[in-house]
Amino acid sequence: MKKNKIIVIVSLIVLLIGIVLITYFTKEDSMLSPEKLISFDKYNLIKDQTILLSDQSKTDDEIIQKVESGLFTFEKPLVIHNPYQVSPLTAIIGFKTEEKVPIKVKVKARNNGKDLVYTTKENTNHYIPIYGLYMDYDNIIEISYKDKINTINIPVEKIDVNKYFDINTIVNKNNLSSNDNDFIFLSTFRGSYSVAYDQSGEIRWFLTNQIYKELNKLSNGNYLLSNSNLVNTNESPNILEVDALGKIYSNYSLENNYMYKFVELPDGNILYSSTDGKIIELNLKNGKVEKIYDINKIIKNIDENQQKLFEEKFQGLDEIEKHDFINSLYYDEKSDSILIGIYPYSTLININKDGDINWIFAKPEYYSDKFTKYLLTPADENFVYPLGNYNSKYKDGKLTLMDNGWDFSMSSSCNIASQLKSSARDFTIDETTKKITETNKYTKDYSSHRLGDYTVDGNSRYVMFAYIFNSFIDKTDKCTMHSEPNFDSKIIILNNEEEVFEMTISNFYNYLDKRPIHDKNYEFKKIETKYFDIKREHDKYEKVSYKEKFKNAIINNLPFVLSGNKLQALYNENNYKIILMDEYGNGYKYTPQNNEIKVKQGEGKLLILIEKDNKIYNTGQYINL
């Protein structure tokens, strides 16, 4: 009996404690209110710019189910234009055949261009990627196997591409081989998105959704791209692996933001340039950083006073933002070395995988005597040092680069800039004697002193003069251009030193590649995008209840941009707070810097409010981190 009384008393005590706790945590000023204040259903989600498409696996499922059903045949195939909604000049054709056969594809050209022809791997379930469609055109696709031929029409409406790139192109010369149907792939770190032109100057491929920066191909046939064009910066907190159809294979959140260049290593890792002169080795299998090469530290380890010498030699270094530091990055498998271009100092530095300097190519007067043993010595006494050196490459003892003819040791007045000419130059390097010899130089009479690309492939040379000024205004000591666009890019291809192709584009680019659009190893399969996420640093915030204040909130549809965990208000005001409020009225108050805050991840759905002059503004938008 006593035992039962004790149990009853203990139960009552527990109940009373529960009532007290519930009462405490449901007070009006409590941050743990159980009553929902809002529903996110009536608000608009701000999508993270670093995530392009979240439901592409559903698209894969639908395509596979339809093809495997047997309802679509060679004569009446499944045709899906732009299957992943980000590659508008592509399609997939699907059908089933009784026997295992390869399919020949021919995308018929227009305006006397070249037909795009390729063959798929043999199969019974066929998922045929179609590349190189023309916009504003009824595209004719011919598929065939054995003696069977079927013609398919894929209309593509006119696309407003002006927000992606300038479409003004002129093919001045095309004497390339008749069986050469490679596309000209162009990309840049600012100003225009990645695009591929055919040899007639027609746009035949591009990706939407803020794809920009270097367009480089991985050994598996996919592309590694930056997909976030942050406001007021060129830093990218994410990179992603996609194929030409726009299917995303992997999305990498980065501890060190990506800037301009990347290169693939033999083991599948990549090196990419980050901020503050850092080179990052990233493992693409797990998204982890394997190593960091800090170029400033490497230089300082030789001479801690070298930075002072740089400041004496180079004018306007304070104008160079931290992301304008690295302009070349290349890996040479034979020497197992990394070539890095330091833009402000017109320096090429070659290091081993341990981060030790092998050699430096730069004017000797730019460096202290402590660097003498590393500096390459010209074999010719009349040697002229290259300057700028965009997109330098080093392979098997041969160095190629774009000599821009200008660096920060010189004036940047219009009078000087208008006289500068870029050149594509070749050198050989004897690493034992540290002697460098110039073997070739190619230049044109263009006013160009920035950017550019140059690649040698056997007897072919691919040259891009990328920042050709057409006009100048000499109102200040700096070079000011007339109205936009007033600069061009010239793409020139040489075979055995003969110019066989030339194209002019009314825009500037910085990366050039000539290659087939079709990957012969392509294989369609369902892909679940792999997300390699990290927890990013976040700004300090104050946690305050906004239950009462929210009742008097004023509707104001202020626009925001979300990239990773960076939330930017497109708002021309000062002295305001950004409030992120959950559905219970719990608010996280941030003080923006340059209209931007770094949000703490893992808090789920949060409504965006603005607090200014003791007033609360409801933007009607929310984020979900």
Residue that has been written with the tokens 């073997």 in this structure = 439
Mapped onto helix, strand or coil, the DSSP state of residue 25 is: helix
Return the domain boundaries, the chain. 1-26, 31-51+537-624, 56-156, 169-532
Q: pLDDT of 350-391, one tens digit each?
A: 999 999 999 999 999 999 999 999 999 999 989 999 998 999
Q: pLDDT of 579-603, one tens digit each?
A: 999 999 999 999 999 899 999 988 8
Tokens (6 digits) for 449: 């002193």
Q: Please give the pLDDT value at position 544.
A: 93
Q: Which of 144, 141, 161 is nearest to 90 (CA)?
A: 141
Cβ distance 183 to 89 under 8 Å? no
Residue that has been written with the tokens 């998105």 in this structure = 193
Q: What is the CA angle 303-330-204, rounded to 5?
A: 145
Q: Please give the pLDDT value at position 176.
A: 95
Residue that has been written with the tokens 């010189």 in this structure = 410
**Long-range own/partner contacts, residues 470-474 (CB < 8 A, 24 or more apart):** 472/414, 472/417, 472/418, 473/414, 474/413, 474/414, 474/415
Mapped onto helix, strand or coil, the DSSP state of residue 439 is: strand
Q: Please give the pLDDT value at position 607.
A: 95
480 confidence band (pLDDT: 50, 70, 90): low
* Cβ within 8 Å of residue 110, ≥6 positions away: 134, 137, 202
Cβ distance 325 to 379 under 8 Å? no
Mapped onto helix, strand or coil, the DSSP state of residue 158 is: coil
484 confidence band (pLDDT: 50, 70, 90): very low
Tell me the average pLDDT across 252-277: 91
Average pLDDT for the chain: 87
Beta strands in 131-235 (DSSP E): 137-145, 148-156, 169-174, 183-187, 195-197, 203-206, 212-217, 223-226
Q: Please give the pLDDT value at position 14.
A: 54
Q: pLDDT of 265-324, one tens digit each?
A: 999 999 999 988 899 999 999 999 999 999 999 999 999 999 888 888 887 666 555 556
Q: Is 445 exposed, middle or buried (0-12, 13-18, 19+ CB in 10 A)?
A: exposed
Q: Please give the pLDDT value at position 16.
A: 57
DSSP code at position 305: T
Highest-scoring range by mean pLDDT, 6-15, 52-61, 230-239, 560-569: 560-569
Cis, peptide link before residue 485, omega less than 30° from 0: yes
Topology of domain 169-532 in CATH is Neuraminidase (2.120.10)
pLDDT at residue 62 is higher than 80: yes
pLDDT at residue 217 is higher than 80: yes
Q: pLDDT of 87-143, one tens digit each?
A: 999 999 999 999 999 999 999 999 889 999 999 999 999 999 999 999 999 999 999
Q: pLDDT of 159-208, one tens digit each?
A: 888 777 767 899 999 999 999 999 999 988 765 678 999 999 999 999 88
* Cβ within 8 Å of residue 299, ≥6 positions away: 306, 307, 349
Tokens (6 digits) for 252: 């990498």
Q: pLDDT of 221-244, one tens digit each?
A: 999 888 655 544 577 888 889 999
Tell me the average pLDDT across 234-260: 88
Give the Cα separation of 500 and 322 in Å (integer).
Answer: 39
Mapped onto helix, strand or coil, the DSSP state of residue 540 is: coil
Q: Please give the pLDDT value at position 567.
A: 92
DSSP code at position 477: S
Report the Cα 143 to chain-centroid distance in Å.
Answer: 34
- Which residue has better confidence, 329 or 34? 329
Highest-scoring range by mean pLDDT, 347-356, 400-409, 506-515, 520-529: 347-356
pLDDT at residue 430 is higher than 50: yes
Q: Please give the pLDDT value at position 476.
A: 46
Given this structure, which CATH class describes domain 56-156?
mainly beta
Q: Please give the pLDDT value at position 232.
A: 47
Tokens (6 digits) for 556: 């104001």
DSSP code at position 253: E
408 confidence band (pLDDT: 50, 70, 90): confident
Give the Cα separation of 133 and 108 in Å (integer).
Answer: 9
Residue that has been written with the tokens 């793409």 in this structure = 491
pLDDT at residue 41 is higher than 50: yes
DSSP code at position 115: -
Q: Please give the pLDDT value at position 485.
A: 44
Q: Please give the pLDDT value at position 29.
A: 41
Instruction: Report strand pairing: 435-443 vs 377-378.
Output: parallel
Q: Please give the pLDDT value at position 106.
A: 97
Crossing angle of the two packed helices 295-302 and 306-313, in degrees rounded to 10: 110
Q: Which of 226-240, 460-474, 510-524 has the lowest mean pLDDT?
A: 226-240
- Which residue has better confidence, 435 or 257? 435
pLDDT at residue 27 is higher than 70: no
